[in-house]
């Protein structure tokens, strides 16, 4: 029997719209007294079932009430389906995954945890219940009273019914998750905001459910486009985007799957996507990061399902972070004092015992970024063979042959005379045709397809050095990208030709086709780069070693070998 489709109705006194549906007769016994979670406009409500299931739509606008009513109806349908199904028997892994959701409920308080004594007392009570040491009540009933409400919350969220054995299993896992959460909040209350390694123990919830005829059909290739993972795998095989792009998509989608508890395409709703967006905002992510990375990853996967596998609708299509951009709180690049401090510190190197390529990176890469405005990985992946010279003028060829570049483009960049005086060309020639700033790969390795290029680690080492050893807080917490902003600011002050600057920075306009015409001679890029003044730094004679480093194969080929160590830099002055 098909249930009649309800419509939103207005409360006679408040004017707020509500949505309700009668519990099907066959389900009334199973439903009576059960609690379910219905989410309206990103706000969850725990509702107890009686003769009806009803929820406030939290709006007085008729059109908005209709939209929210449609979302509520899809959730009602899941409730009826869950009550129709036999109670589920969950695996140990699934129980741990559900307990992880309880852990995250408490973790959400970590930014403002309150008094540590409160969480210590909670942990003490949890321990007594776990140990069966409660007065006038046995352990089984104590576990139910203490942890049962949280079990009910996650079951209601996923519209799950479980058998008695599974409930006991889930109570135990929830108790341990709450103990872990209490320990975390005690640390946070004490001022310890170190990494949370406990959360990693909770797997993504994966519970198979009966599917409907609208489920996306499985493709002939073995990729399952009924799942986000399968969709992305199929798209990667049939399109030419870079592997690291798909790896970023996968990382973002794992975050989404952890929130909603599954990856089944046909079950994803607008409400899921909105909840994810709001959670990302609450975590403090930037608007651009949320829109261009996280939400884009989901839209790309679902759009592929719409195009190739007859998914009716991309529910993520119009959902974005629409917040206004934050008002500028300071400069985007280093100021003169910060830049001078970092460049002066390069002559003392790092206090850590780093591999030779990393020592060279910490000395040379800040100087190169300061005088070229290149992205840090474009510098750290540079190969000595791409140092070029024409008519006695040296220049750098930036090419995707060395690794990832913006838009897979190639271009040339001038070399500032101060860099040459510091010995930059001599260093490159001494190191040879390969990379200067990371351990080389074996000859013949295709650097264009590496998903985790070693050059990225060199950039990370430089950022750590600036933050941890120099104690400099970079603008927007981007120690390497701040050079790119400083370079741009200086280029304006010293009247560098904008077209030449954009060309050398690898960021030419896509809207003006004329910028792609003609060539840039070494004389032109050399003249433009040398319009910049020298940084006022007192050099020393110390330079990191130019010792050659033996190539090492990819980690998947052989076990990792210890890096070659070189001469440490001179000790820092007290």
**Start-to-end CA span in the chain (Å):** 83
Q: Which 3 state secondary structure label does DSSP give 281? A: helix
Strands 52-56 and 17-22 come out as: antiparallel
Q: Which two tokens stand for residue 487?
A: 């370079």
Taking the C-alpha atoms of residue 104 and residue 178, their distance in angstroms, rounded to an integer, is 9
Of 152, 158, 151, 159, nearest to 83 (Cα)? 159
pLDDT per position as a tens digit, 257-296: 988 888 899 899 999 999 999 988 888 787 888 999 899 9
For the entire predicted model, the pTM comes to 0.51
The radius of gyration computed from the CA coordinates of the chain, to the nearest angstrom, equals: 30
Taking the C-alpha atoms of residue 337 and residue 486, their distance in angstroms, rounded to an integer, is 12
For residues 57 and 16, the answer to whether their CB atoms sit within 8 Å is: yes
**Residue ranges of domains in the chain, CATH in brackets:** 9-84 (no CATH), 92-201 (no CATH), 211-327 (1.10.150.130), 336-529 (1.10.443.10)
Of 414, 62, 44, 415, nearest to 259 (Cα)? 44
From residue 554, alpha-carbon distances to 95, 357, 439, 529, 551 in Å are 37, 17, 11, 37, 10
Using CB atoms within 10 Å of the CB of residue 423, give its burial: 0 to 12 exposed, 13 to 18 middle, 19+ buried. Answer: middle
Residues paired with 55 in a beta bridge:
19
For residues 297 and 248, the answer to whether their CB atoms sit within 8 Å is: yes
For residue 545, what pLDDT is reported? 94
E strand segments, 95-200: none
For residues 565 and 353, the answer to whether their CB atoms sit within 8 Å is: yes
For residue 207, what pLDDT is reported? 66
Residues of the chain with pLDDT under 70: 1-5, 42, 44, 82, 84-86, 135-136, 207-223, 240-244, 325-330, 451, 508-516, 555-574
Q: Which two tokens stand for residue 201?
A: 């123990």
Q: Which residues are CB-contacts of 218 (< 8 A; sequence separation ≥ 6)?
A: 224, 225, 226
Q: Where are the alpha helices (DSSP H) in 8-91?
A: 28-31, 62-84
Taking the C-alpha atoms of residue 288 and residue 375, their distance in angstroms, rounded to an integer, is 18
For residues 81 and 156, the answer to whether their CB atoms sit within 8 Å is: no
Q: Could you say which DSSP state residue 121 is in? A: H
Q: Which residues are CB-contacts of 404 (< 8 A; sequence separation ≥ 6)?
A: 242, 244, 377, 381, 448, 453
For residue 566, what pLDDT is reported? 46
Taking the C-alpha atoms of residue 385 and residue 78, their distance in angstroms, rounded to an integer, is 61
For residue 512, what pLDDT is reported? 57
For residues 17 and 71, the answer to whether their CB atoms sit within 8 Å is: no
For residue 236, what pLDDT is reported? 85
DSSP output for 531-567: TSPPP-----S-------------TTTS---PPPB-P
For residue 495, what pLDDT is reported? 94
Q: Which two tokens stand for residue 265?
A: 């395409």
For residues 261 and 275, the answer to whether their CB atoms sit within 8 Å is: no
Taking the C-alpha atoms of residue 70 and residue 73, their distance in angstroms, rounded to an integer, is 5
Of 36, 40, 64, nearest to 274 (Cα)? 40
From residue 280, alpha-carbon distances to 102, 188, 321 in Å are 18, 20, 9
Q: Which 3 state secondary structure label does DSSP give 108? A: coil
Residues paired with 18 in a beta bridge:
9, 56
For residues 412 and 399, the answer to whether their CB atoms sit within 8 Å is: no
Q: Which residues are CB-contacts of 296 (< 8 A; sequence separation ≥ 6)?
A: 249, 252
Q: Could you say which DSSP state residue 23 is in? A: P
For residue 137, what pLDDT is reported? 74
Taking the C-alpha atoms of residue 71 and residue 270, their distance in angstroms, rounded to an integer, is 8
pLDDT per position as a tens digit, 412-447: 999 999 999 999 999 999 999 999 999 999 988 888
For residue 99, what pLDDT is reported? 92
For residues 60 and 52, the answer to whether their CB atoms sit within 8 Å is: no
For residue 326, what pLDDT is reported? 64
For residues 131 and 162, the answer to whether their CB atoms sit within 8 Å is: no
For residue 327, what pLDDT is reported? 63
The count of other CB atoms within 10 Å of the CB of residue 475 is 18
For residue 75, what pLDDT is reported? 76
């Amino acid at each position: 029997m098909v249930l009649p489709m309800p419509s939103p109705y207005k409360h006679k006194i408040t004017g707020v719209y509500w949505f309700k549906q009668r519990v099907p007769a066959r389900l009334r016994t199973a439903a009576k007294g059960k609690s379910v979670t219905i989410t309206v406009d990103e706000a969850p409500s725990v509702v107890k079932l009686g003769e009806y299931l009803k929820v406030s739509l939290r709006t007085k606008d008729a059109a908005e009430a209709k939209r929210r009513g449609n979302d509520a109806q899809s959730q009602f349908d899941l409730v009826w389906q869950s009550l129709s199904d036999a109670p589920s028997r969950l695996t140990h892994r699934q129980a741990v995954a559900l307990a992880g959701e309880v852990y995250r409920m408490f973790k959400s308080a970590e930014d403002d945890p309150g008094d540590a004594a409160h969480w210590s007392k909670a942990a003490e009570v949890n321990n007594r219940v776990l140990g069966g040491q409660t007065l006038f009540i046995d352990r089984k009933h104590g576990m139910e009273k203490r942890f049962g409400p949280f079990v009910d919350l996650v079951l209601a969220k996923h519209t799950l019914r479980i058998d008695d054995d599974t409930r006991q299993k889930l109570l135990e896992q929830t108790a341990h998750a709450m103990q872990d959460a209490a320990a975390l909040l005690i640390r946070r209350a004490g001022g310890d905001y170190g990494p949370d390694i406990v959360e990693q123990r909770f797997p993504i919830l994966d519970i198979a459910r009966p599917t409907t005829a609208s489920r996306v059909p499985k493709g002939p290739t073995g990729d399952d486009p009924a799942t986000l993972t399968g969709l992305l795998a199929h798209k990667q095989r049939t399109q030419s985007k870079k592997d690291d792009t798909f790896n970023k998509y996968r990382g973002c989608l794992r975050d989404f799957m952890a929130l909603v508890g599954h990856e089944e395409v046909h079950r994803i709703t607008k409400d899921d996507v909105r909840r994810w967006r709001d959670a990302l905002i609450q975590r403090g992510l930037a608007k651009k990061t949320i829109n261009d990375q996280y939400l884009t990853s989901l839209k790309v996967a679902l759009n592929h399902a719409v195009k190739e596998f007859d998914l009716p609708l991309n529910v993520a299509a119009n959902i974005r972070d629409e917040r206004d951009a934050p008002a500028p709180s300071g400069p985007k690049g280093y100021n003169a004092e910060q830049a001078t401090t970092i460049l002066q510190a390069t002559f003392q190197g790092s206090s850590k015992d780093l591999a030779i390529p990393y020592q060279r990176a910490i000395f040379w890469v800040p100087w190169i970024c300061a005088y070229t405005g290149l992205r840090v990985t474009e510098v750290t992946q540079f190969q000595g063979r791409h140092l070029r010279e024409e008519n006695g003028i040296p220049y750098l060829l930036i090419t995707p042959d060395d690794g990832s570049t913006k838009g897979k483009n190639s271009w040339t960049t001038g070399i500032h005379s101060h860099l040459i005086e510091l010995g930059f060309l001599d260093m490159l020639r001494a190191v040879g045709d390969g990379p200067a700033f990371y351990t080389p790969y074996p000859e013949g390795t295709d650097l264009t397809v590496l998903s985790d290029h070693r050059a990225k680690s060199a950039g990370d080492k430089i950022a750590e050095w600036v933050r941890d050893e120099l104690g400099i807080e970079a603008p927007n917490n981007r120690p390497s990208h701040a050079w790119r902003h400083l370079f741009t600011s200086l280029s304006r002050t010293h009247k560098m030709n904008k077209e030449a600057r954009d060309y050398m920075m690898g960021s030419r306009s896509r809207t003006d086709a004329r910028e792609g015409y003609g060539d840039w001679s070494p004389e032109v890029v050399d003249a433009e780069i040398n319009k910049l003044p020298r940084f006022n730094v007192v050099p020393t004679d110390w330079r990191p070693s130019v010792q050659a480093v033996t190539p090492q194969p990819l980690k998947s080929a052989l076990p990792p070998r210890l890096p070659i160590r070189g001469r440490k830099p001179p000790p820092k002055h007290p």
